[in-house]
Structure 1
Amino acid sequence: MGYELYFGSGGGATGEINAYCLLDNGRLYHRPTKTGEFFLVDRIPKRRRNDLFWQVDNLDLFGVQFLEHENRFRFLQIKGQEGVNRVMWGDRTASQLPDGITDLYKELQVIAAESRD
């Protein structure tokens, strides 16, 4: 596979972007705006990461064309042999996303929060 799944949020008055990267080997990296560099924060168990990447495949994240940048935004980005694709949305445009995208994002945010604890 060789997938890299990026997710996070940003914008607002500061323009800061808080990003994570989940590799298909389970390593989860975090890039706070202040450092600009990714650092390892956790390893996601195999069953959970397989479920997440199954969702990516099921949602056809490589095929979703949605870039609606607002002042505050959220994003998912997939990188793999198929190329790179980014999906970006804000509060006003979230309801226009294909089914399952926001659910995947919320699940990834839960994982990120658990990794910070």
Structure 2
Amino acid sequence: MKQVSIFIFPLLLALTSLFVQGQSIRTAGNKMRQVRPASTDDTPITYTGNQILVGSGGKGTGLPATYCLLDNGKLFGKRSHDKEFTFIAQQTPVNTKRIFAVVEDKCKIKTVKFDHPGATSKFIHWRKGKQENKVVWAETDKKAPANYSKFYESFMATIPVELRLK
């Protein structure tokens, strides 16, 4: 798991910094940095700090999955039939801060109202304590608000296929 974490989060750093700069995901390099190990005391269910949940669902997407990044850097995943979130890896503080800055400042997740699910939908959900907002869009219906599709793709690209929930 530690070796996979060492691979995942440097990639996330590169992708997030490219997203913030408006560059394509495809230009990300292979720069790797060390990440710190994590305990799993906090979970998305009990955590009261900021959280970003990213996922998809519907008939055409296979089994729906949700990934949750806490503002302390812990990344979790959950399939629709799972009872609890599973710890995946620990994000670095710098990367975590960048991801939250993009979704809160550039995407304006706290205030954007957009709820247009379809047969195959994607979503980005922000919450802190009792405050929350969720943006949902379908692939074929109304276009997602500015920056949401790009943020979704950048976030998902940071999770290697072998670590994604199946």
TM-score by length of 1: 0.85
Higher mean C-alpha deviation, range 96-105 or range 19-28: 96-105
1:60 pairs with one of 108, 115, 123: 108
Higher mean C-alpha deviation, range 67-76 or range 7-16: 7-16
TM superposition shift of 1:18: 0.6
2:163 paired with 1:116: yes
Secondary structure at 1:93's aligned position in 2? coil
Higher mean C-alpha deviation, range 103-112 or range 22-31: 103-112
TM superposition shift of 1:68: 0.6
Label 1:6 to 1:115 Cα distance change in 2 as closer, same or farther (>3 A). Answer: farther
TM superposition shift of 1:115: 7.6
Query: For structure 2, which runs of at least 5 residues remain unmatched after alignment?
Result: 1-47
Distance 1:111 1:91 in 2: 21
Name the aligned partner's letter for residue 73 of structure 1. Answer: S
Q: How big is each residue's C-alpha offset from its partner over 1:62-91, in whole Å with a ceiling of 9 and x where there is no partner? A: 111111110011100000157110111111
* Kept in 2: contact 1:77–1:85 (CA 8 A): yes
Distance 1:57 1:50 in 2: 10
1:77 pairs with one of 111, 122, 125: 125
Label 1:115 to 1:60 Cα distance change in 2 as closer, same or farther (>3 A). Answer: farther
Name the aligned partner's letter for residue 131 of structure 2. Answer: G
TM superposition shift of 1:49: 1.2
The residue that corresponds to 1:92 in the other structure is 140
Secondary structure at 1:10's aligned position in 2? strand
CA RMSD, 1 decimal: 2.4
TM superposition shift of 1:15: 7.6
Secondary structure at 1:62's aligned position in 2? coil
Query: For structure 1, which runs of at least 5 residues remain unmatched after alignment?
Result: none
What percentage of residue pairs aligned between the two structures are identical?
A: 23
User: Structure 1: which 4+ aligned runs deviate by more than 4 Å?
Assistant: none
Name the aligned partner's letter for residue 128 of structure 2. Answer: G
TM superposition shift of 1:107: 1.4
Distance 2:132 2:99 in 1: 17
Equivalent pairs counted in the alignment come to: 116
Higher mean C-alpha deviation, range 40-49 or range 23-32: 40-49
Label 1:82 to 1:14 Cα distance change in 2 as closer, same or farther (>3 A). Answer: closer
TM superposition shift of 1:14: 8.7
